[in-house]
Amino acid sequence: MFIVKDFDLKLTFESGQPLAFYGEYRLEKNGKGLSYVTDRGVIRLHCEKTKSSTNIDYNYIGKYTAKSAENDIRARLGLSQDMRKVYAAIDTDQFMHEAITSLRGLRMTKSDPWEATLCYLTSQANNMKRIRGTIRKFVDVFGDDYKGKGACAKLFPSPASIAKATIPELTACGTGFRAKYIKGVAASFAGGFDSDALYGMDYATAKLELTKHRGIGDKVADCVLLFGYGKMQAFPTDVWIKRVVEHVYFGSRKTSAREIHSFAENKWGPYAGYAQQYLFWHGRSKTIGKPSS
């Protein structure tokens, strides 16, 4: 059982983070529930909001102990983050203040590097619904089966299992033109590429290592660093962020991704990634800057 403040499961889950691509969010009898798949099993959460905090209960299937499951949840849902500090750092102007007021409790989640990589390779020129459908098919088709203690579950597919799939098998999951990138990067993660080594690298160096892969460009690399490695200075600049930042901070002037990165680094520094997530979700909810809005 966790008791935390400034935590909103629905916002955290639904704000376009990788957890939503391989997890399941649903209504339960007396509150909200969430389950997600990892390479070790399935974790189920149940949340109850009280006046001043949120109580999170959980159970699990798979190669977990009570302790390792608890650690997994704390890390993935960002339960150790100091939200007072986060909000103090990103509450820089009227727009961000509105975003914080509207989205209080939205946490940055932390997936495994490989999970985030697969999710954001799939995301390019794609929409949330189809991304989710594709990742869920990956789990169904390529995920190992866990069987034990009267329970069974599909696990998140390994790099090796995706690497040995054929291109037609991948496109059958709805990847489209991204299949060749997915297969190639999976092969790298399965052998040769030491993904854990990037934890020990600074942001810029780790980004260089990621973008050596065909199919991982500037934006996907930033997503992997932010959502997969927890490097909070990463500021993924997609079409939405570009629109919102141009509209709110640049008087609707067309601005290059390079300039936006520089702006974000100066304004939010080590918390730029957090600011990005609030800009992204708040901007989308208000369709800020979008043509015909």
CA distances from 60 to 28, 68, 286 (A): 17, 10, 37
Structure tokens at 57: 């209960």
Rule CB under 7 A: choose which of 241, 245, 248, 288 binds DNA: 241
Q: Does 14 bind DNA (CB under 7 A)?
A: no
- 125 near DNA, judged by CB under 7 A: yes
Q: What angle do CA 183, 208, 216 make, to 5 degrees?
A: 30
Q: Any idea how long the chain is? A: 293
Q: Is 221 in the site for DNA (CB under 7 A)?
A: yes
User: Which residues inside 150-169 make contact with DNA, applying CB under 7 A?
Assistant: none
Check residue 177 for interaction with DNA (CB under 7 A). yes
Near DNA by CB under 7 A: residue from 88, 97, 258, 285? 258
Q: Rounded distance, CA 224 to CA 226, Å? A: 5
Task: Cite the DSSP H helix spans in 151-252.
Answer: 159-163, 167-171, 179-190, 203-210, 218-223, 239-249
Residue 70 or 209: which CB sits closer to DNA? 209
The DSSP letter of residue 187 is H
Q: Which of residues 57-86 bind DNA (CB under 7 A)?
A: none
Is 208 a residue that touches DNA (CB under 7 A)? no
Residue 45 found at the interface with DNA (CB under 7 A): no
Of 164 and 290, CB closest to DNA = 290
Residue 85, both tokens: 């500090």
CA 279 to chain centre: 15
Give the interface segment with DNA, choosing from 64-72, 91-99, 158-166, 236-244 (CB under 7 A).
236-244
- The amino acid sitting at 20 is A
Residues of the shown chain interacting with DNA in the complex, contacts defined by CB under 7 A: 15-17, 120, 123-131, 171, 174, 176-177, 211, 213-221, 223, 236, 238-241, 254, 256, 258, 276-277, 280, 290-291
